[in-house]
Structure 1
């Protein structure tokens, strides 16, 4: 990010755009202008950043399908595009979660393992299985419902998954005094609520052409996935950290895609 400008804490449209730029810049490697805004204030923009990431991933899916590639290959390319846009931010968190949650016996040891940049057996296995699962489900959606529906599904799950994260950051304390979650701070209730509403409303808007039960399935599945990982982080670590937030996002994506495939678009 470039073009740093001091944040003045305002409440107008300029301040909101500054916050959105920080949310997009944090969630992705897109070259957005840098704004000196606390991440806890910008967290409401996480789901909108997810919409953009999902759109890019979806456009790759549409292009691959238009070129006549097999559905599984198109799905893999779409997921790879999403990982490239985010710098594999959430995938890395998922792998670290698996290593830490099941590789240590105390919260301190688990956090130490998660800070290690090397991936262990649990992390590699979790990452491979979740990526394979998402690719298989996305390929099925593409085959059964077509490329536009699969693109919409990607946008919806990316949006909804990130919409839950500020609420988790608001309600569950950070594990330890260092790390991303501690650095980001605790979003205010209004910020967390705005993120949830944007995440669910954005996902519903993208899926407006689908039966209502598809939207409900996405909301329930992504919410339950985030809740499960958050509860596990609370039990294993005593709170949340950046890696556990990444794990929540990845599991919410996978659960959301599975729910849409099961209910039908």
Structure 2
């Protein structure tokens, strides 16, 4: 870990964020490739995987993003240290809310008549991919912002903690890639196209990661807001998308256990390496 941390530090935050988010995308690709090895996936496992994803995102939102935001604000905004975290968190949630209302998309376990966003005649497959793409924007943004924070020397944030976040996001991207590709396969899409669409959903992460890192190192005063912004965006996705998808069948309990497992794993990673 130390050698990797030193290597990424030498590259600088933007290239480090790019490499880290390419790693998270690659694990999505590996997950999507499972469609070549398995013919189907039970709904229970699907819900557990989505629950795991939500748990990782919840834990990362607090330990990797909100806590450092508040810690930084205590020095720069004495007496109102809650303000940047509150403003940034609300802005991040409202940003994804706006995208959710505008971008046509369809969540994985939802019926075609439950399409969200602007009305369109786009194919169901396209709408599914757009839903997961919206999901991945906050994840890439969070990784990039954290590398920028580590570069700026924020107390409690190191390249090791940014790497830990990338590992956590990557680990939940693996089952997510499978969870996207397999439903497409069940709908009659070919294995190759299901794989392609599954990995394509995470291509936005490197873009968001680079933008997040560049923003916080260019305009350093926005750092506490940017950290909270990424947290608000991720929490909105978890509550509006991930959790509801896991609660639409009879697997609610195991889905919650998956969420608990993801939360604990991300918490351990962040505390151990942060």
Question: Could you tell me the TM-score, scaled by structure 2's length?
Answer: 0.36
In terms of fraction of residues, the more helix-rich structure is: 2
